A and B are shown apart, each in its own frame.
Chain A
Amino acid sequence: MDIIYQFYLKFLEQMGIDNGLIILSWYFFPFCLTILAMVFVAVVLMVFEQGIIPYFRNKKNDIEHSCKFSSLISGAFNFWGDKTTLCKPGSFFMDKVVLLLIFVPVVIMFGLIPYSNKYIPIISEVGVILFWTGVVVFVFGLLFKGLCANNKFEHVATVRSILLFCSCLVPIVLVVSGCVMFASSLNINEIVLAQSSSGGVVGWSVIPGFIGFLIFVVSLLLISYIFDEIFSVENLNGFSGIKLCLLFVAKYGFLFVLSLLCICLFCGGYLPLFGFYLSELIPINFVLNNSAVYIEQIIWLIFKSFLLLFIVIWIKNILWQVNSEKIINITWRLLVPLGMLNFLVLCEAKYLVGGGF
């Protein structure tokens, strides 16, 4: 990325363009890559969740399943077809605001993740806080989505869904707080680098913080359940065409970016599994070797995140169904106390590592 940036910088400087404008325009490229990644993730996860898993679960009804799947795909990516709305949104302005509040924070969260040591679209020392701000804005976007439905039942149902969603986010923020405190940094890249070791997996935070990792994964699983309700066909009345597509992309993008955060906090982010990069073994010249390392880092991060999310979606679709009562019980009676316990244990460990007061 550095080589491309230097080339881009030299090219535009030769054309006599101002340096500040060059830096501003450079962000356009990572932004485009982010949007492409979000669309790719949405398509892959949608095909996996709605196409592949139900096919293997219920092979006898594959005709019915294929009809459902094709209607879902055509509904989500029907940019040019008939524009039918089941319920009129609150106002012309409101549904645009909802789209902005749901879609924009997911893009920002994607930008905050360090994909490799050199490729971090938005470099920030307070990355975790910005990430969390994005989550809060996303939650309020979902709240507005219900409120713009112009229907009192929709309002109460949305608040209830948000209630369940927040119940799952509280354990996650407890876990993230523990990781931030232990790494003593709000920069996600520094949290990843703190896990690097010659032993590979041995240095990852998942070994000392296995409880936290488990809490994160279970919360992610419950969030995927709640998203089925929030983004169900009945709750997406008033959104069709490109708006529905953006909502689906934001839904799967949010799940994936939470998975990315979990990997960055616990599984070493872009660090390799074995402690060394496979591309280092290939005898090529130094510049190409470095580039290959950065590409390998991106591949490692995406591979780990997809693996985690595939497992979560597979468990969600295969094992059991939960209702809201169970979600509340699991989160507030099990995950939140466990998260607090994990947090206090990490406090104690930090105290011991820091040499006491």
Chain B
Amino acid sequence: MQEFIGLVVYISLAVVLVFILIACERFIQVVCGRKVKRVLEQKVDGVSLDRFIRYDSKYLIFGLFFVLAFVSMGLVLPVLVKCVKAEVLPFIQVGVFVFILLLTLIYALGKNILKWR
């Protein structure tokens, strides 16, 4: 439990710092706040040229699956530490996990899901 004290203190201090800075900004601001609301349809893409493709709704679905894939990858980390004793079970678990990922990737490539144009 003691090893998480540092983590908790760090999180608390960081949260307090953010709120202090936001509060300080109100005091040191010379000019009064002026809010201008503009329509955002004029926004342009900073990097790529595919300005209209980026608003396709399919990205919502893909985004969800990509986030799930990325988050679930972190779950394999604790299993890997067990490999220190060269036990069979962790190797099989990790192997099955990577195999399922590989199958999904091959399926996605076969269906041209990752080909966006």
Contacts and interface: CB of A to CB of B under 8 A. Distances in A.
A81 B59 CA distance: 38
Nearest to B64: A159
Given A31-B13, A81-B30, A184 B71 contact: no
Contacts of A185: 81
B74 A133 contact: yes
A14 interface: no
Contacts of A153: 40-41, 43, 55
Contacts of A121: 6, 10
Contact of A246 (B4, B21, B56): B21
B14 A123 contact: no
Contact of A321 (B47, B59, B77): B47
> Which residue, of A103, A132, A174, A177, has the highest number of chain B Cβ atoms within 10 A?
A177
A181 B80 contact: yes
Interface residues of B, number: 76
Interface in A206-253: 225-226, 228-229, 232-235, 237, 241-243, 246
Secondary structure dominating the interface of B: helix
A152 to B, nearest CB: 8
A347 B14 contact: no
Given A81-B30, A100-B15, A232 B46 contact: yes
> Which residue, of B21, B38, B85, has the highest number of chain A Cβ atoms within 10 A?
B21
B96 interface: no
A275 interface: no
Contacts of A136: 70-71, 74
B21 A128 contact: no
B25 A87 contact: no
A287 B81 CA distance: 37
Interface string B4-23: 11110111011101110110
Interface residues of A, number: 96
A194 to B, nearest CB: 12
A167 B25 contact: no
Interface string A159-186: 1101100110110011011001100111
A176 B22 CA distance: 36
Contact of A130 (B7, B46, B69): B7
B33 interface: yes
Contacts of A243: 22, 25
Given A163-B66, A177-B73, A350-B86, A324 B81 contact: no
Contacts of B56: 156
A241 B76 CA distance: 40
Contacts of A186: 77-78, 81
A86 B29 contact: no
A332 interface: yes
Contacts of A107: 10, 14
> Which residue, of B31, B49, B59, has the highest number of chain A Cβ atoms within 10 A?
B59
A247 to B, nearest CB: 11
B107 interface: no
Interface in A1-38: 23-24, 27-28, 31, 34-35
Given A27-B13, A80-B30, 13 more contacts: A83-B35, A103-B14, A123-B6, A153-B55, A156-B59, A163-B63, A170-B66, A180-B77, A228-B46, A233-B46, A322-B47, A325-B116, A328-B114
26 contacts: A24-B9, A27-B5, A31-B14, A81-B29, A82-B34, A84-B36, A85-B37, A86-B37, A96-B18, A108-B7, A111-B6, A121-B10, A123-B3, A124-B3, A124-B4, A126-B78, A154-B40, A157-B43, A159-B63, A177-B77, A186-B78, A186-B81, A325-B48, A328-B116, A333-B114, A344-B98
